[in-house]
Chains A and B, each alone.
Chain A
Amino acid sequence: MPAETVIEVKNLVKNFGEHQVLRKIDFSISKGEVVCVIGASGSGKSTLLRCINHLETPTAGQILFHGKEVKNTQKDLSAYRSKVGMVFQSFNLFANMTVLKNCMFGTTKILHLPKEEAHSRAIQHLKEVGMAPYINARPDQLSGGQKQRVAIARALCMNPEVLLFDEPTSALDPEMVGEVLNVMRDLASKGLTMIVVTHEMGFARDVSSRTIFMDQGYVVEDESPDVLFVHPKNERTKAFLSRYMSDQQQT
């Protein structure tokens, strides 16, 4: 049964000056899918994610949301972004607001929901990530793992159709990676559509419904994780995975 396509990326090209970071990317994600994007640093994974959210304006190509092109106008972008949440490597919680205010910002200022509803949504999602007792804390009073869990709750408050994760655990101390990945596993099992750029191969293998391997601005392989991690077809995928495995054996 073909599920409904939510986001479709067509011929996406992104240049930074002379440097071509993304070279004609095509891919799509359907409702309920969890797509993990892996690859070496500098392969264009994060840029792809940022282009999907239009934080980087694509040089060429299209982003389609439910089959409709997202235009580069304030109105289009606001409507689109409020349905496509983003979780950042560096959390990006608003430093001038408490945890609760962070989680109520989008619902009150962008979706214009009544305060009570915004509040109950915030509490509900903070409970989901285990951060409800910290509603009065400011971001600078929290640990990295706690901040990232709040950031996920903040994104969930918007009731997004898709949630984009840009290396959500890369800035965390090793002992905090688990708590964030657990929250993400939980979300995946609840059927949330997610695109996750990550270096956590274990997470990609266990949780994703599809894994994309990127190299030098190309999508090299787009497969189910069972195939990609066990029988990679492309030489570059093989090389990347074997390098990763040997690194892991050393540590």
Chain B
Amino acid sequence: MSSIIAYFTNATGSSPGAQGTTFQWIAYIAGQYKFMFLQAAWVTVYVAFLGTILGFLIGFLVGIVNSTKIEPDDNVVKKALLRIVKVIIAIYVEIFRDTPMIVQGMVLYYGLRDNNVMVTSIVAGVLVIMLNTGAYMGETVRAGINSIDPGQTEGALAMGESHFGTMFYVVLPQAIRNIVPEMCNTFLTNLKETSVLNVIGVTELFLMAKTAGGAYYKYYESYLVISVIYLVMCFVFNRIFRVLEKKMKGSKDYVLAAEYMNTDE
């Protein structure tokens, strides 16, 4: 590996110079900044992963509340509470779906800091991804819950299970299975979308490429390097998710319990 890099970088480790080819520059920048790119790739995955997981939690809350119907014979307090929470959620979802994430990042980061909440850019970045994911996942979760046959709910209620228990033991496990592919998609989208967080100084891949490219005025080469990194990361995660989804589906076969076979009649 080092011999290949050495070949491209004139064996001396100095920059290819004005006569250097694109390939030489790519290899040079990749070699010079390899640890920083790795570090930035880690930050990218870290921010995307944490933001997505926390966002899912918000999404589940939003989806569960939105799929809860207000029954005519609920008591007044429950009705009022549910209505207020639903309005708050509607406002939150609308705001985050109708503004660009890059703008949300600026508003949140500088807004918090100007009010003496000294968040780091990473924390602000995770917050932005989280709130965005929550706003979009809420609708997915609601649809996932509504896609479950009402008979499943009735089956549990008719045995004496509470609404909460029915949701927790019967409906949600089935809904989650339906929305797992969408959850994986959201994570991959977030992995790429973290690039807008460079505007608030999150040292993810985009900001690193900007720094590396800026040092030599070689932006094309620098961004090509991170393109490859994004591509490899997304490809690998995509494959992992596919295997997981297949595993979750389970086998079509089942084993008959032989110990109860002859006592059947």
| Residues in chain A near residue B258, CB distance under 8 A | 133
Q: Which of B73, B255, B260 contacts A132 (CB 8 A)?
A: B260
Q: How far apart sit A34 and B257, CA to CA, in the bound complex (Å)? A: 34
| Residues in chain B near residue A80, CB distance under 8 A | 160
Q: How far apart sit A78 and B257, CA to CA, in the bound complex (Å)? A: 33
Q: How far is the CB of A39 from chain B (nearest CB, A)?
A: 22
Interface positions of B from 158 to 175, Cβ below 8 Å from A:
158-163, 165, 169-170, 173-174
| Residues in chain A near residue B169, CB distance under 8 A | 105, 109
| Residues in chain B near residue A57, CB distance under 8 A | 73
Evaluate contact between B162 and A74: CB separation under 8 angstroms. Answer: yes
Q: Given A72-B73, A88-B151, A94-B152, do A81 and B157 touch, yes or no (CB 8 Å)?
A: yes
| Residues in chain B near residue A92, CB distance under 8 A | 149, 151-152, 154-155, 158
Evaluate contact between B152 and A123: CB separation under 8 angstroms. Answer: no
Q: Which of B152, B154, B161, B254 contacts A55 (CB 8 A)?
A: B154
Evaluate contact between A135 and B257: CB separation under 8 angstroms. Answer: yes
Say whether A86 faces chain B, with CB atoms less than 8 Å apart. Answer: yes
| Residues in chain A near residue B264, CB distance under 8 A | 127, 130, 132-133
Q: Given A57-B73, A133-B261, A133-B264, do A105 and B158 touch, yes or no (CB 8 Å)?
A: no
Q: Which of B151, B250, B260 contacts A133 (CB 8 A)?
A: B260
Say whether B98 faces chain A, with CB atoms less than 8 Å apart. Answer: no
| Residues in chain A near residue B158, CB distance under 8 A | 53, 55, 81, 85-86, 88, 92
Q: How far apart sit A132 and B265, CA to CA, in the bound complex (Å)? A: 10
Binary A-proximity of B94-115 (CB < 8 A = 1, otherwise 0): 0000000000000000000000
Q: Which of A91, A98, A123 contacts B260 (CB 8 A)?
A: A123
Evaluate contact between A85 and B159: CB separation under 8 angstroms. Answer: yes
Q: How far apart sit A51 and B178, CA to CA, in the bound complex (Å)? A: 32
Evaluate contact between A55 and B157: CB separation under 8 angstroms. Answer: yes
| Residues in chain A near residue B239, CB distance under 8 A | none
Evaluate contact between B155 and A93: CB separation under 8 angstroms. Answer: yes
Say whether B263 faces chain A, with CB atoms less than 8 Å apart. Answer: yes
Say whether B79 faces chain A, with CB atoms less than 8 Å apart. Answer: no
Q: How far apart sit A79 and B255, CA to CA, in the bound complex (Å)? A: 36
Evaluate contact between A95 and B160: CB separation under 8 angstroms. Answer: no
Say whether B81 faces chain A, with CB atoms less than 8 Å apart. Answer: no
Q: Which of B158, B169, B174 has the most CB of A within 10 A?
A: B158
Evaluate contact between B162 and A78: CB separation under 8 angstroms. Answer: yes
Say whether A212 faces chain B, with CB atoms less than 8 Å apart. Answer: no
Say whether A60 faces chain B, with CB atoms less than 8 Å apart. Answer: no
Say whether A158 faces chain B, with CB atoms less than 8 Å apart. Answer: yes
Q: How far apart sit A197 and B256, CA to CA, in the bound complex (Å)? A: 33
Stretch of A22-30, A40-48, A136-144 with 4 or more beta carbons under 8 angstroms from chain B = A136-144
Q: How far is the CB of B152 from chain A (nearest CB, A)?
A: 6
Say whether B233 faces chain A, with CB atoms less than 8 Å apart. Answer: no
Q: In this complex, what residue of A is CB-closest to B148?
A: A95
Evaluate contact between A81 and B159: CB separation under 8 angstroms. Answer: yes
Q: Given A57-B73, A134-B256, do A94 and B263 touch, yes or no (CB 8 Å)?
A: no
Binary B-proximity of A144-157 (CB < 8 A = 1, otherwise 0): 00000000001100
Say whether B177 faces chain A, with CB atoms less than 8 Å apart. Answer: yes
| Residues in chain A near residue B149, CB distance under 8 A | 90, 92, 95
| Residues in chain A near residue B156, CB distance under 8 A | 94, 105
Evaluate contact between A130 and B157: CB separation under 8 angstroms. Answer: no
Evaluate contact between A82 and B252: CB separation under 8 angstroms. Answer: no
| Residues in chain A near residue B254, CB distance under 8 A | 98, 134, 136-138, 141
Sample of 5 further A-B pairs with CB below 8 A, known A91-B151, A134-B254 = A78-B160, A82-B160, A95-B149, A127-B263, A136-B256
Residues of A within 8 A of B (CB): 53, 55, 57, 72, 74, 77-82, 85-86, 88, 90-96, 98, 105-106, 109-110, 123, 126-127, 130, 132-138, 141, 154-155, 158
Q: Could you list 23 A-B pairs, sorted by A, with CB under 8 Å?
A: A55-B154, A57-B73, A72-B73, A79-B160, A81-B158, A88-B154, A88-B155, A88-B158, A92-B154, A92-B155, A94-B156, A94-B170, A105-B169, A123-B260, A126-B260, A127-B264, A130-B264, A132-B264, A133-B256, A133-B257, A134-B256, A135-B260, A136-B254
